[in-house]
Amino acid sequence: MIAGIYFSNKEAGWGDFSYPMTVYTRDGYEVIPRSKYLLYVLLAMLVIILMVLCLSILMNIFFKNMYANVLFGLGLFALADLLQAAGLNMGLLYPIKFVDFASVLSGETAIQIDQSSIDYRYMMIWLIVSVLALMVILFGQNRHSFHGNVLFYL
């Protein structure tokens, strides 16, 4: 930790919040205060942590082996980049690509995917939808494991 603090001080200084940050929006690039950028990062990290937590719980239900969970999780996160390198654009895998929220904020993801509508708001909507979908799947699986057939009890 001390080495990290020393390295960040050497590279960027002691946390000067007076410099603005540039964020990609649908209309182009927008300059925002660093405090707003940090709020964006904090919110994105919270939603991504929820998504990874729900996904890991779901994988733990299907695979009873921790190593299989880790291998499947890493493969799932690499799948979006592998399919894009193969020339296939699968919109269903975009929320997995949004885990790298810094590239979404800088506009690199919009350039890679060649879709100008991918900005912070688009990313957050799809991540929240993904978290909600994972929670519904987990709720259904939990209800099914305790009550048998889910359709008759809803």
Q: How many CA atoms lie within 13 Å of 53's alpha carbon, on the beta-carbon side?
A: 9
Of 15-19, 98-102, 132-136, the one with minimum mean pLDDT is 15-19
Average the pLDDT over 126-146 and give the result: 88
Which is more confident, 112 or 104? 104
Tokens of 102: 């810094």
Instruction: Please provide the average confidence, as pLDDT, over all residues in the chain.
Output: 80
Residue 124 burial class via C-beta count within 10 angstroms: exposed 0-12, middle 13-18, buried 19 and up:
middle
In the prediction, which pLDDT does 149 show?
61
Query: Which sign, positive or negative, has the C-alpha torsion 53, 100, 109, 113?
Result: negative
In the prediction, which pLDDT does 50 show?
94
In the prediction, which pLDDT does 152 show?
47
Task: Please tell me the pTM assigned to this model.
Answer: 0.76
**pLDDT bucket at 7, cuts 50 / 70 / 90:** low
**pLDDT bucket at 146, cuts 50 / 70 / 90:** confident
107 dihedral zone (left: phi>0; alpha: psi -120 to 50; beta): left
How many angstroms separate the CA atoms of 142 and 136, rounded? 10
**pLDDT bucket at 94, cuts 50 / 70 / 90:** confident
Place of tokens 């790298």: 100
DSSP symbol at 92 = G
pLDDT one-digit tens code per residue, 19-66 = 788 888 887 888 888 888 888 889 999 999 999 899 889 888 888 888
